[in-house]
C-alpha cells in the first residue's frame, strides 16, 4: 500500500514546497491555478506578523503566570473542576495578582510602538 501513500502524507509542512510541486490536470481541484492567482492578489499579512515581544521588563510576571498556567489552568482546561465559574474566577484573580495587567500593558505599549515605526 505504500505506493498509494504520498511522500508528503505525513509532516508535509516540513518538506512540501508548492513552487516545485507538480500539478495534476486530472482529479485535482479544477480551478486551482485561478484560486492561487486570486489568493496571491488579495492575500494580506497581519500587521503584527513581524512583531517580536521583548519580555525584559516583565520576566518575573511571566514566570509567575506560567507557573499558575502549568499548575492550575491545565487541570481546569481538562475539566477537573466541580465549580468551573468559581475556579475560573480564582484563576483570573491569581493571574492578575501575578502581574497579568502589567504584562498586557507592556505588550500593548510595544505593539503600538511597533505600528508607529512601520
Angle between helices 84-98 and 100-116 (to 10 degrees): 70
Domain ranges for the chain, please list them.
2-42, 56-116
Does this model's pTM top 0.85? My answer is no
Question: Residue 98: pLDDT above 70?
Answer: yes
Q: What angle do CA 87, 96, 113 make, to 5 degrees?
A: 135
Q: How far apart are CA 3 and CA 11, in angstroms?
A: 17
Q: How far apart are CA 12 and CA 14, in angstroms?
A: 5
- Predicted local distance difference test score (pLDDT) of residue 23: 62
Question: Residue 3: pLDDT above 90?
Answer: no
Report pLDDT digits (tens) over 40-94: 999 888 889 899 999 999 999 999 999 999 999 988 989 999 999 999 999 999 9
- Predicted local distance difference test score (pLDDT) of residue 7: 64
Kindly write down the DSSP assignment for every residue of the chain, as one continuous string.
-GGGS-TTSSSHHHH--GGGPPP-SSSS-TTHHHHHHHHHHH----TTTT-----GGGHHHHHHHHHHIIIIIHHHHTT--S-HHHHHHHHHHHHHHHTHHHHHHHHHHHHHHHHHT-
C-alpha cell at 101: 495587567
Amino acid at each position: 500500500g505504500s505506493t498509494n501513500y504520498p511522500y508528503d502524507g505525513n509532516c508535509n509542512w516540513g518538506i512540501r514546497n508548492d513552487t516545485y510541486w507538480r500539478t495534476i490536470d486530472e482529479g485535482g481541484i479544477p480551478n486551482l491555478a485561478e484560486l492561487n492567482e486570486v489568493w496571491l492578489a488579495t492575500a494580506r499579512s497581519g500587521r503584527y506578523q513581524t512583531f517580536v515581544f521583548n519580555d525584559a521588563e516583565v520576566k518575573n510576571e511571566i514566570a509567575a503566570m506560567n507557573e499558575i498556567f502549568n499548575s492550575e489552568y491545565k487541570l481546569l482546561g481538562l475539566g477537573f473542576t466541580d465549580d468551573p465559574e468559581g475556579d475560573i474566577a480564582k484563576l483570573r484573580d491569581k493571574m492578575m495578582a501575578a502581574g497579568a495587567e502589567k504584562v498586557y500593558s507592556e505588550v500593548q505599549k510595544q505593539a503600538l510602538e511597533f505600528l508607529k515605526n512601520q
